[in-house]
Structure 1
Amino acid sequence: MNKQITFNLPVKDLNKSKAFFSALGFSFNPQFSNESAAFMVIVDGSIHAVLSTEAFFKSLIGKPVVQAKEANEVVICLNCESREEVDRLIAKAVAAGGRTPHPPEDHGFMYDQGFEDLDGHLWNLVWMAPQT
């Protein structure tokens, strides 16, 4: 089995969402993108997201699209290499129009904070202390 993750997220405004995630340092593969969807590279070769217009997303699932600002089904969690990377990405998310639903949590062995993107999808950034 090829160990890659690609998940799909519905967005209200594809161009604004692309600008938001570009500000966080994510890139887009134009080969797999069009006016209805953008293939976002989170970690090259292993983690990707497809940002889809709500209409296109709905055509894929055949049922109503949950409005993430009102209800959530999932929290997307990404591991970071350091506490500083968590803080840096959170600052970029806020500067690009996202919001933080809670302050950072420092458990000593783990540090995390989340952000809500423009469409209300929840992302959690985590640093875990190396095991000794």
Structure 2
Amino acid sequence: MAVKMDNVGIVVEDLTAAIEFFQELGLELEGRTLVEGEWAGRVTGLGDQRVEIAMMRTPDGHGRLELSRFIEPSVVADHRDAPVNALGYLRVMFAVDDLDATLDRLHGRGSALVGDVVEFGGVYRLCYVRGPEGILVGLAQELG
């Protein structure tokens, strides 16, 4: 049985700010739309819902990120400030060509470095940043 990951979803309050942040990282906006109605609620188990969705795509076309802003029903929990060792979904990580340049660009969008940029085994430079609304994003630059 073949399995292929389609996307990772993140719920946000400010969809435009999240789109701009991930565009600055290098993702491309594939589309933005309103999803609503009973059929959508049957999939999520939320009943009648209205959700604005933006689908972002990595430049290589192999990864997608679905950003969602719930209009109805309202958001019920907020995990944006959870530390890296919290249970459940926590972060998404992207491979980048130039970690320092990426950090500079994202800093202009209000991101903040969580800890330090570290080197792992002479193979990667790694770090975490908090983007808009505290979204935790990992960045990795392969050394070589």
State the TM-score, normalizing by the size of structure 2: 0.70
In the alignment, which residue of structure 1 is the partner of 2:131? 117
CA distance in 2, matches of 1:104, 1:15: 28
Q: Secondary structure at the match of 2:11?
A: strand
User: Structure 2, unaligned stretches of length 5 or more?
Assistant: 35-51
Q: CA RMSD in A?
A: 2.5
Larger strand share, 1 or 2: 2
Which of 94, 100, 115 is the matching residue for 2:113?
100
Aligned length, in residue pairs: 121
Larger helix share, 1 or 2: 1
Moved over 4 A (4+): none
- Larger Rg belongs to: 2
CA distance in 1, matches of 2:77, 2:59: 26
In the alignment, which residue of structure 2 is the partner of 1:14? 15
State the TM-score, normalizing by the size of structure 1: 0.75
1:57-109: CA deviation from partner (whole Å, max 9, x where unpaired):
x68xxx833331345532212223x4xx1222121111111111112102322
Q: Is the 8 A contact 1:90 1:113 kept in 2?
A: no
Identity of aligned residues (%): 17
What are the within-5 Å matches in structure 2 for residues 1-132 of structure 1? 1=2, 3-30=4-31, 33-35=32-34, 36-55=52-71, 64-70=76-82, 73-80=89-96, 82=97, 85-107=98-120, 108-129=122-143
